[in-house]
């Protein structure tokens, strides 16, 4: 059985389009809704109802919560590797359950915990001078 050349060409174009669309979708990075330049690790989902955004004269205060199946160790590795690429520097006191980063006049704290077989990450962004 022979297929017309136009049919084969159509199938190839469709396959290439689907491949491009899936590659594009896989490359899209999702960011926290309140902290637009902090990526959300694959496997975590943000609870947008739990977030708080407050602007004050000395800077913004943002609280965000995300949870998912990755281990606390994997989450820690991801943010320790990713945030410095975005200008955040690791700062004390950081440990396995609490990661602290500083950039410009802001401090970003990630608090990791386990609840119901999920890793919960609480993101807190505040001005450096905040208590």
Q: What are phi and psi of 19, to 5 degrees?
A: -65, -45
Neighbouring CB atoms inside 10 A of 18's CB total 10
Residue 23 in this model has a pLDDT that exceeds 60: no
pLDDT computed for residue 10 by the predictor: 41
CATH 3.30.530.20 fits 44-127, yes or no: yes
Helix (H, G, I), strand (E, B) or coil at 13: helix
pLDDT computed for residue 73 by the predictor: 95
Scanning 1-131, the segments in alpha helix (DSSP H) are 5-27, 72-82
Between the alpha carbon of residue 111 and those of residues 72, 82, 117, the distances in Å are 10, 16, 16
pLDDT band for 24, please (50, 70, 90 cuts): very low
Residue among 128, 121, 105 nearest 73 (CA): 121
pLDDT single digits (tens) 93-118: 888 899 999 999 999 999 999 999 99
The whole-angstrom separation of Cα 125 and Cα 72 is: 20
What residues does each domain of the chain span?
Answer: 44-127
pLDDT single digits (tens) 86-95: 999 999 988 8
pLDDT single digits (tens) 26-81: 568 899 998 988 999 999 999 999 999 998 888 999 999 999 999 999 999 999 99
């Amino acid at each position: 059985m022979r297929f017309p050349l136009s049919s084969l060409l159509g199938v190839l174009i469709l396959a290439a389009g689907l491949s491009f669309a899936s590659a594009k979708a896989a490359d899209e990075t999702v960011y926290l809704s309140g902290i637009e330049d902090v990526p959300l690790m694959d496997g975590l989902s943000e609870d947008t109802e739990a977030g708080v955004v407050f602007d004050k004269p000395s800077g913004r205060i943002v609280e965000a919560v995300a949870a998912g199946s990755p281990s606390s160790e994997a989450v820690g590795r991801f943010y320790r590797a990713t945030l410095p690429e975005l200008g955040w520097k690791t700062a004390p006191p950081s440990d396995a359950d609490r990661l602290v980063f500083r950039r410009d006049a802001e401090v970003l704290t990630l608090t990791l915990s386990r609840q119901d077989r999920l890793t919960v990450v609480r993101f807190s962004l505040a001005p450096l001078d905040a208590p």
